[in-house]
Amino acid sequence: MKAFIIKSYKPKDGMTLVEVPEPKLQENDILVKVSAAGVNLLDSKIKSGEFKAMLPYKMPLILGHDVAGVVVKTGSGVKKFKIGDEVYSRPADFKIGTFAEFIAINENDAALKPTTISMEEAASIPLVGLTAWQALVEKAALKKGQKVFIQAGSGGVGTFAIQLAKHLGATVATTTSTTNIELVKSLGADIVIDYKKEDFETILKNYDVVLNSQDAVNLEKSLRILKPGGKLISISGPPDPEFAKEFRLNTVLKIVMFFLSYSTKKKAKRLGVYYSFLFMKASGEQLHQITELINSGIIRPVVDKVFPFNKANDAMTYVESGRAKGKVVIKVN
């Protein structure tokens, strides 16, 4: 099969299109013929070696964390899917590789694709959908009537998180650029701050939850807009000891995480608020719940551009530019 690989971290010429063997199935795997693959900043960060301490991948590596496609083969123990099913998934760490014609996925990490959207739209959902779900539902336990600040509302996670937060009954504030104000309003944002003209810290006060996806400066400001007992969930770091424990990292990395997050944790404690780092996990069950929200029209995908398979490097470059509104997708088959 054809696949885009990297042979080392920081490849000078980006990913390389090569012929590789078709994946072998384990007992609980499904073989998916890839129709479309979403592109995420996580792919870029892995390519650059940013996560190699936590995710020590072997080279050569096929990147890609989002997929929509058709089941063409099943392992002997598979019970949830059959050949011909249209599915979507964020494959588990160390089983990624959606920038390819086929991928093997554990059945517990996949769900039936929403029937109301295209393959390309479905491929845009898994990573950002699960990130928003695990941040707002699992970690923050966001409730009706609460106030949530979602940074970068026009990005991949932001466009999904705004819609999910509104469904949960929250008042939603977000930041974006002037050109994307109408987009985030259409998704349900109640308070929209043009980050090029205004400082959110001077506008927002006493928030229950912040979903942080920006730099250290914005993280510190975000801590200060929370009410006592409020929660800041960060998907951009710094990683904390709880994450190290959950990820079963070695003792050295646990110590590193402690010191990386020490200052942020200390500031949060002084303000009487809660800080947590989130690195999302694969979950077919949560994707199933997301499917129901999409099929019922509560959440809609936001796709900026669809690139052909042979332009996968261009898709990655576009994501790295930071200009994408919503998600970028590669059409494979």
pLDDT of residue 249: 84
pLDDT of residue 53: 87
With tokens 């384990």, the residue in question is: 26
As a whole-number percent, the residues of the chain with pLDDT over 90 amount to: 90
Averaged pLDDT, 115-122: 98
Cα distance between residue 66 and residue 120, in whole Å: 10
Cα distance between residue 88 and residue 77, in whole Å: 19
Q: pLDDT tens, 224-276?
A: 999 999 999 999 988 888 888 888 888 988 898 898 899 999 999 999 999 99
Lowest-pLDDT range of 31-35, 50-54, 222-226: 50-54
Q: What is the mean pLDDT of the chain?
A: 96
In DSSP notation, 99-138 reads SBSEEEEEGGGEEEPPTTS-HHHHHTSHHHHHHHHIIIII
Dihedrals phi, psi of 125, to nearest 5 degrees: -90, -50
Give yes or no for residue 29 having a pLDDT over 90: yes
pLDDT of residue 127: 98
Averaged pLDDT, 291-319: 98
